[in-house]
Amino acid sequence: MRVFRQLIIQGINILFLSILVLMGWMLHTSQIEGDLLVVFIVFSIVTIFPLYTYYIERLYKKIIPLKYEDLYIQTVDMFLSLQSFDDIIKVIFDKVLQYIGVKSGLLIFYSHDTDDYTIYYQKQQRQKIIRKAHIDKNNIIFKVIQSGEDVLIKSKMDPSLHFQRSIMFEMEKLGGEIIIPIYYHDIFLGLMIIGEMKRRISKRDILMLKALASKIAIVTVNGFFMHELIKSKEIEKEYELGHKVLKQFMPQDKGVIQKAQYIMIKNDSDSTYYFNIYNPDSWTSYIVLCPLKANISLLSLLIPAISVLMQSYSRLGFLPDRIIKKINGVLKEKELIEENLPIMIVKKKKKQYCISRSVNCDIKVYVQKKSRISPVSLHNTINQINNIKKLIITSQEIPGTIVKEYESDQHITQENHNVPKNNFILTLTEQQ
């Protein structure tokens, strides 16, 4: 019968073409040419052909309706080609509801990061999104679904059983006839809820909905991993920017300040320590050291701010403890930090050192007087050190072997001293 109907459509097409050929032959025999022929061709293209196409398509759909198998194939093809989550919400889910004869449906997604639910409501191409929806985790539907049930169908439940009657009651509250869980392997992602159907649910419908739920899970997880990838790339860019800013504000690793030779030995592979020297006048120098490992994302903001503040306060001749308080106060006021920065400032005037550090700073200081190196206890707000041969500032304990090398006045460089990752050693040796 279907073949016969298709032959009828083809016969109508042949008849239409024959009429056009006959009209053309009549015009030719009547010797109608020139402008009249052009008018006839334009009229045919503008009116006759569109009208014919419109009515022949309507006739085709009427005498050869699209079979359910064809609808099924079209639907499966559509959601198998899904590439984004927006496609699901805006197009595919609505099409699926239309093809199985349902007016409304819900997609409920559970976020493991924020521990909340998002509901996408679809009804006859109208959409509504409810974010951070309040859903009771003890809801019987979630318990049943997560216990291993792959699908819930209300029409197949027995209302005389208390357990199933409770499930039916919750499904009616959601306006659902079918509930299918969305899983990625063993990870629960949400629910697909299909509304009341006009006809009886078939096995093919269930298979199609399960396939769609599986595809939704894959697209959702892919979207999550893509978001995490972009996020990690952004963090990498922040690290790169932070290190570039850091290097621009750092002085050279070797030099002379106030008749003292300084050498900074650090691990450059992933250094996040801010180190700088300020010389407000010819007889005074300030050295600032600040580990910024916990503030890497704010390096591009903190480093310029610290540098400007140090320039200002050092020219005013403030003591290190006052500078530390003022720097932390300004950064907190600008909401750049929440807790105090772990910072140490050394003020050097001739052979006198004034050292202060914040409470949360664990930078250590050693001094060498004559031939012995000993640690300095930095318990006071201001620590005065006078007439020393060498000052050593480090982010780590100095091993005994290294202490002996320093005491013997060997030239310690990056080549013969391995500094652990994210650590440094700064030495200042007074020139005789």
> Does residue 245 lie within any of the structural domains?
no
Please list the ranges in the chain whose pLDDT falls under 70: 1-6, 28, 31-38, 58-91, 124-125, 148-149, 222-236, 238-246, 267-272, 293-300, 398-422, 432
Write the CATH number for 142.
3.30.450.40
Answer yes or no: do 159 and 215 share one domain: yes
Would you give the DSSP letter of residue 341? Answer: -
pLDDT for res 151: 85
pLDDT for res 416: 43
Structurally, the chain folds into a number of domains equal to: 3
Strands 260-266 and 424-430 turn out to be antiparallel
> Does residue 110 lie within any of the structural domains?
yes
Write the CATH number for 372.
3.60.40.10
Answer yes or no: do 305 and 347 share one domain: yes
Answer yes or no: do 101 and 28 share one domain: no
Backbone Cα Rg of the chain: 40
Answer yes or no: do 204 and 98 share one domain: yes
pLDDT for res 108: 83
- The answer for residues whose C-beta is within 8 angstroms of residue 5's C-beta and 6 or more apart is 63, 64
pTM above 0.75, yes or no: no
pLDDT for res 414: 45
pLDDT for res 406: 56
> Does residue 277 lie within any of the structural domains?
yes
pLDDT digits (tens, 9 = 90+) for 218-244: 777 766 665 665 666 666 676 666 666
> Does residue 230 lie within any of the structural domains?
no
Residue entry with tokens 């019987």: 140
End-to-end Cα spacing for the chain = 112
The domain of 15 spans 2-63
Answer yes or no: do 179 and 312 share one domain: no
pLDDT for res 374: 85
Answer yes or no: do 118 and 256 share one domain: no
Answer yes or no: do 204 and 297 share one domain: no
- Reading the block at residue 287, the tokens are 């050295």
pLDDT digits (tens, 9 = 90+) for 59-98: 666 665 545 555 555 555 555 555 555 656 666 777 777 7
pLDDT for res 401: 47
Residue entry with tokens 């979630």: 142
pLDDT for res 234: 65
pLDDT for res 415: 45
Answer yes or no: do 28 and 89 share one domain: no
H-type alpha helices, 250-319: 299-315
